[in-house]
Amino acid sequence: MSIYLKIKSKHLALEPAIIRKEEQKLKKQIDWYKTKHQLSTVDTFNYYKEHPDLYNMCLRRGSLIYHRSWDVRNEARATYLARAYLKGMPYKVVEPNVREKLWAPVMESLIRMVMKYGSVNYRPDYNELRKVIKTAEAKAKEDILKWLEQ
């Protein structure tokens, strides 16, 4: 197992708390702006023409929320699965209650991490004309899909 994946998973565990703190700072700034300009707390996006600063703060906060709840979460799950795959743990032990397949962002990150940190060196297959028959990513994906069936 790679020490780099272990470090990455620890950083990903800390990142949501940091993002939440920044979200709270932006929320305070938004509330202060609304109080200063005597705006109602409802329908912030109706003020985007008269108050572009408020609109931009709301967009930044929404972007942080999205990043925390989707990007960081998916990357953390992919890192967790990559560590389990590289340790040789069966998938059913790692995620026993999951019924749906991995969706694309998690699978892409998982493939990327297995190729980068794994001990198997995936190389593309070529035919006699030096055209790629099977890419390295496809080979890694095949191995991961076999692991997911365990």
pTM assigned to the model: 0.85
CB–CB of 103/43 below 8 Å?
no
What are the residues whose beta carbons fall under 8 Å from the beta carbon of 8, sequence distance 6 or more? 79
Q: Which amino acid is at 143?
A: D
Residues in the chain: 150
Alpha helices in 37-118 (DSSP H): 52-66, 73-87, 91-94, 104-117
Instruction: Provide the terminal-to-terminal Cα distance of the chain, rounded to the nearest Å.
Output: 20
Q: Which domain holds residue 84?
A: 3-148
Number of domains in the chain: 1
Rounded Cα gap, residues 20 and 16, in angstroms: 6
Digit-by-digit pLDDT tens for the chain (150 residues) are 689 999 999 999 999 999 999 999 999 999 999 889 888 766 666 777 788 898 899 899 999 999 999 999 999 999 999 999 999 999 999 999 988 888 899 999 999 999 999 988 888 888 877 888 889 999 999 999 999 988
